[in-house]
Amino acid sequence: MIHFEWPWLLLALPLPILIRWLLPASTPVEQSALKVPFLEDFSVGKTPRVSQNQQWPLLLAAIAWLLLVVACARPQWLGEPIEQAVSGRDLMLAVDLSGSMEEQDFIINKQPVDRLTASKWVAGDFINRRVGDRLGLILFGTQAYLQTPLTFDRKTVQTLLNESALGLAGENTAIGDAIGLAVKRLKNQDANSRVLILMTDGANTAGEVSPLKAAELAAQNQLKIYTIGIGADEMIVRSFFGNRKVNPSTDLDENTLVKIAESTGGRYFRARNADELNNIYLLLDKLEPVEKDKQYFRPRSELYVWPLALALGLLALIATSRVRLS
């Protein structure tokens, strides 16, 4: 439907008529002599006629005025109402990019992939489902970086996560710094719920803040942390001496991750394969549902440029005609 943003400006439509009525008529200029070359001009009973050359500029000017007033009223085209869910939740995702994440102990589509690739694959679907949440992304290794500030733009968060690479933040693991950065970015936000989902496959080996100390700060700022320890417990390694079983997750500090989650009111999850990791994110959808306040908005397209362009075109035509007549 068409909507006028400033409909009160339509009241200006009769303004030229009011000016014509209210202003005094101009008095003719007296001349000292009057030459009448033709007596027919003084014929009795004949009324002066306005030629067509005088009528059409007046008509075009009236149409131009109408179009100008309509353009000033700012016509808009309103689309169909679109529903938006707003949960009021700020959710930060912290992903480990340390060197150990290159271990290929996950299987996706029957192909072995590294831990980071599996994390991207599962977390991408999770991000798409978080309609109504403001999402942010932290990447950490030796140092922690804010890759994406809080935003409703889920597509951007997913794109930047997919573009992350192993070793981008260093080879070590600064879990405490990642939590501290999340606290810093979320503590001043007015949100109904603040959540951090932290994924790692190791222990804290870098950073200035210990994980447990950072967890205390998180609890003080009402930040709930869900920790996910990723990596298989058992892996077959082929060597010159034959196949042997190894545990690729020996460096995973599960005790610390459990304490971090419990101290902030969250939970610890263990993801040994892609299916378990996916189930964890499905469970997180239930623990932190996206239900919410439903808001509606209608997309708007500005239409004033069309009547404005037509009005300017008519005015240009009138000006051209006057130059020719003169």
The verdict on residue 321 lying in a domain is: yes
The verdict on residue 26 lying in a domain is: no
Full-model pTM? 0.62
What per-residue string of b and e applies to 102-120 under the rule 16 or more CB within 10 Å gives b?
Answer: ebebbeeeeeebbbbbbbb
Whether 64 and 174 share a structural domain: no
How many CB atoms are closer than 10 A to CB 237? 10
Q: How many helices (H) and strands (E) does the chain have?
A: 9, 15
Give the number of domains in the chain: 2
Contacts of 228 (CB under 8 A, 6+ apart): 197, 198, 199, 200, 268, 269, 270, 271, 277, 280
Whether 257 and 307 share a structural domain: no
141 burial level (CB within 10 Å; 0-12, 13-18, 19+): buried
Whether 312 and 290 share a structural domain: no
Whether 163 and 285 share a structural domain: yes
CATH number at residue 141: 3.40.50.410
Whether 162 and 268 share a structural domain: yes
The verdict on residue 238 lying in a domain is: yes
How far is 169 from 102, CA to CA, in rounded Å?
14
The verdict on residue 38 lying in a domain is: no
Whether 73 and 153 share a structural domain: no
Q: What pLDDT, on a 0 to 100 scale, did the predictor assign at position 264?
A: 92
The closest alpha carbon to 98, from 46, 207, 171, 157, belongs to 171
Provide the residue range defining the domain that includes 109. Answer: 84-294
The verdict on residue 63 lying in a domain is: yes
The verdict on residue 90 lying in a domain is: yes
Q: What pLDDT, on a 0 to 100 scale, did the predictor assign at position 144?
A: 93
Q: What pLDDT, on a 0 to 100 scale, did the predictor assign at position 42?
A: 46
How far is 170 from 120, CA to CA, in rounded Å?
18
Whether 254 and 321 share a structural domain: no
- Which tokens hold the place of 227? 């920790």
Whether 134 and 174 share a structural domain: yes
Each residue's pLDDT, cut to its tens digit, for the chain (326 residues) gives: 788 888 898 888 888 888 878 876 665 555 545 455 544 544 454 444 545 556 777 888 888 899 999 999 988 888 777 655 555 678 899 999 988 888 887 888 888 888 889 889 888 888 988 887 889 999 999 999 999 999 988 999 999 999 998 888 888 899 999 999 999 998 877 666 789 999 998 888 888 899 999 999 999 998 999 999 988 876 555 655 555 555 556 788 889 999 999 999 999 999 888 888 888 888 888 887 755 555 566 777 888 889 889 988 888 888 887 766 55
Whether 69 and 203 share a structural domain: no
Whether 281 and 313 share a structural domain: no
Whether 56 and 148 share a structural domain: no
The verdict on residue 24 lying in a domain is: no
The verdict on residue 149 lying in a domain is: yes
Whether 112 and 3 share a structural domain: no
